[in-house]
Amino acid sequence: MSQAAIAYTQPAYSAAAQQALARKPQLFIGGEWVDSSHGALIDVEDPSTGKVIARTADASDKDIDRAVAAARAAFDDGRWSAMPPMERERIMIRLADLLEAHAEELAELEAIDNGKPKGMAMAVDIPGAASEIRYMAGWAGKLGGETPSPYALPQGAMFGYTLREPVGVCAQIVPWNFPLLMACQKIAPALAAGCTLVLKPAEQTPLTALRLADLVAQAGFPAGVINIVTGLGETAGDRLVRHPDVDKVAFTGSTDVGKTISRNAADTMKRLTLELGGKSPVIVMPDVDVKEASKGAASAIFFNSGQVCVAGSRLYAHRSIFDSVLEGVAAVAPRWAPRPSLDPAAQMGPLVSGEQLDRVMGYIEAGKRAGASVVTGGDSPTSDGYYVNPTVLADVNPQMSVVREEIFGPVVVAQRFDDLDEVAKAANDTCYGLGAGVWTRDISVMHKLVGKIKSGTVWGNCHTVVDPALPFGGYKQSGLGREQGRQGIEPYLETKTVFLKL
Ligand code: NAP
Ligand code: MG
């Protein structure tokens, strides 16, 4: 599909959105909106138009120190951790209610800031953010230790038990692809465990995090429990990661930055969880309904313009159906043609930034130079926004950068296979291990592939399904630890063992 330039006109913003864009650039620290210690600002763009629409504060070292001090004080005096868990749960649920009550406005801000269609944000991001908080709120009152019987000690001489305690002050650093959802996925387990936190949104997408701060104040969290600071990763983020008064870092973003953070957090032995990149395979077996599987494979890569850590970016179709799967994906690609995020017909928006556009187009060009052929897309419509057409590349080989590296755009590479072991080996031939999709009606083949694939999540006949009750995270270089579910709250808890001589 090579699409001529179309008129990309972003509809007007609502009054509520305009008000949010006009807010004074400030930081949310200690329950108050405060000015930064220096005047530096960061431009915020609408990726649908490429226009600067707002400015946010670029937190200085002093600002970060102030935010950490606020979180430290709020943790140390127990204003949150010592509150009855029932109260903590109640306040968290109030926040979830407020997110839902403001869904329309938050979805619009997400669309303006990130470029995703407002309808997608309404269906996925905002309800997802609220349900992360709702689910974790329930854990606040269900944590506790154990009373194991000693094994090598005389019975009755010693009483041993464990306590679970909140880990302390958390630094939470999130990316731009699902700004509010990622922010809520991070803050929810920390709050349920009784921790306090400093959240730093991505420089490109601060708008919903700032509105979240307003709602935090309304929900009744004590001052200093949740602090939200806008700023750059290399300065504000780095300061948080190295700060001696921060006990735990939780990060979602690129694998490269994850490695840097891992090194920088080591000096103070901070607790660390990392949700990093991926290059997730989608495997299509010969017994499927080809039309349905092709549609699924297209959604797996084009959803959120491919800016999804679990995007199905490597398509493996059985040799006997390879051509028809490719035809099927190409046939639905026009439905994913990029449009401005507030256009009600939009299914896919632009990429988040000019930098991301250059990066994605750079990969497509490198693929072509290395011999890949373009089945559909491969180009960027002429516009001031950051649009890329949904792209399928074939005639690729496992050495090409388009096959090995995370592109983070609407670009899928398609390869053939003949048998199960071969495709499992190909699927695992990556430094990543975040997600994988398997399409088959054969339950035995499904279970065999589930067992062979090295990734944190495997989807059968679907893709990108997540739920707050089920753990999410990566094998290999896709991350460290798990978020969501019971496992997602563990990294926010220390275990204290107590021995009492009787
Ligand atoms: P990134 O640099 O990893 O950014 C993620 C977050 O980390 C942002 O808040 C960022 O701040 C912050 N950060 C950056 N350097 C830091 C440091 N040294 N210490 C502490 N925090 C730091 O991701 P990106 O630059 O936005 O995107 C680059 C590539 O990463 C993408 O093309 C994509 O391949 C991948 N990515 C993956 C995911 C995922 O979910 N797996 C998400 C986003 C991006 P700034 O906003 O100032 O950079
Ligand atoms: Mg960055």
Kindly write down the DSSP assignment for every residue of 55-82, as one continuous string. Answer: EEE---HHHHHHHHHHHHHHHHTTTTTT
- The mean per-residue pLDDT over the stretch 463-477 comes to 98
Determine the distance from the C-alpha atom of residue 96 to the mean position of all C-alpha atoms in its chain, rounded to a whole number. Answer: 18
Cα–ligand 2 centroid distance for 311 (angstroms): 19
269-282 as b/e: b if 16+ CB within 10 A: ebbbbbbbbbbbbb
Convert the pLDDT of each residue in 355-389 to its tens digit.
999 999 999 999 999 999 999 999 999 999 999 99
Cα–ligand 1 centroid distance for 256 (angstroms): 9
Ligand closest to CA 478 = 1
Which 3 state secondary structure label does DSSP give 170?
strand
Q: What is the mean pLDDT of the chain?
A: 97
At residue 22, what are phi and psi to the nearest 5 degrees?
-90, 0
Q: Is 234 touching ligand 1 by the criterion CB < 6 Å?
A: yes
Could you tell me what percent of the chain has a pLDDT over 90? 98
- The mean per-residue pLDDT over the stretch 97-105 comes to 98
DSSP codes of every residue in 368-434: HHTT-EEEE--S--SSSS-----EEEES--TTSHHHHS---SSEEEEEEE-SHHHHHHHHH-SS--S
Confidence of residue 2 (pLDDT cuts 50, 70, 90): very low
Q: Is 198 touching ligand 1 by the criterion CB < 6 Å?
A: no
- Rounded to an integer, what distance in angstroms lies between the CA atom of residue 411 and that of residue 387? 13
Determine the atom of ligand 1 nearest the C-alpha atom of 256. Answer: 3
Burial bucket for residue 142 (CB in 10 Å: 0-12, 13-18, 19+) = exposed
Which residues are catalytic, by number? 275, 309
172, 178, 257, best to mutate for ligand 1 pocket (most atoms within 8 Å of CB)? 257
Cα–ligand 1 centroid distance for 358 (angstroms): 16
Convert the pLDDT of each residue in 228-275 to its tens digit.
999 999 999 999 999 999 999 999 999 999 999 999 999 999 999 999
* Residue identifier of the C-alpha nearest atom 43 of ligand 1: 253
Q: Which letter does DSSP use for residue 313 in this model?
A: E
User: Residue 5: pLDDT above 60?
Assistant: no
Q: Is 435 touching ligand 1 by the criterion CB < 6 Å?
A: no
Convert the pLDDT of each residue in 302-340 to its tens digit.
999 999 999 999 999 999 999 999 999 999 999 999 999
Describe the crossing of helices 290-302 and 322-332 by its angle, rounded to 10 degrees: 60
CA neighbours closer than 13 Å in the CB half-sphere of residue 38: 11
Confidence of residue 1 (pLDDT cuts 50, 70, 90): very low
Q: Is 182 touching ligand 1 by the criterion CB < 6 Å?
A: no
Cα–ligand 1 centroid distance for 163 (angstroms): 35
Could you tell me what percent of the chain has a pLDDT over 70? 99
Determine the atom of ligand 1 nearest the C-alpha atom of 407. Answer: 34
Determine the distance from the C-alpha atom of residue 170 to the mean position of all C-alpha atoms in its chain, rounded to a whole number. Answer: 17
- The mean per-residue pLDDT over the stretch 47-69 comes to 98
- The mean per-residue pLDDT over the stretch 419-444 comes to 98
Cα–ligand 2 centroid distance for 124 (angstroms): 24
Q: Rounded to two decimals, what is the model's pTM?
A: 0.97
User: Residue 133: pLDDT above 80?
Assistant: yes
Of residues 298, 347, 348, 360, the one with CA closest to residue 327: 298
- Rounded to an integer, what distance in angstroms lies between the CA atom of residue 355 and that of residue 373? 24
pLDDT given at position 8: 78
Q: Is 432 touching ligand 1 by the criterion CB < 6 Å?
A: no
User: Residue 108: pLDDT above 90?
Assistant: yes
* Residue identifier of the C-alpha nearest atom 19 of ligand 1: 238
* Residue identifier of the C-alpha nearest atom 29 of ligand 1: 254
254, 264, 358, best to mutate for ligand 1 pocket (most atoms within 8 Å of CB)? 254
How long a stretch of residues is the chain? 502
User: Residue 207: pLDDT above 70?
Assistant: yes
Classify the phi-psi angles of 111: left when phi > 0, otherwise alpha if psi is within -120 to 50, otherwise beta. alpha
Ligand closest to CA 409 = 1
Q: Is 232 touching ligand 1 by the criterion CB < 6 Å?
A: yes
Q: Is the distance from CB of 187 to CB of 199 less than 8 angstroms?
A: yes
Cα–ligand 2 centroid distance for 42 (angstroms): 13
pLDDT given at position 327: 98
Determine the atom of ligand 1 nearest the C-alpha atom of 203. Answer: 46
Determine the distance from the C-alpha atom of residue 345 to the mean position of all C-alpha atoms in its chain, rounded to a whole number. Answer: 25
User: Residue 166: pLDDT above 80?
Assistant: yes
Ligand closest to CA 236 = 1
User: Residue 289: pLDDT above 60?
Assistant: yes
CA neighbours closer than 13 Å in the CB half-sphere of residue 370: 19
Q: Is 179 touching ligand 1 by the criterion CB < 6 Å?
A: no
State the pairing for strand pair 41-46/493-501. Answer: unpaired
Cα–ligand 1 centroid distance for 257 (angstroms): 6
Q: Is 94 touching ligand 1 by the criterion CB < 6 Å?
A: no
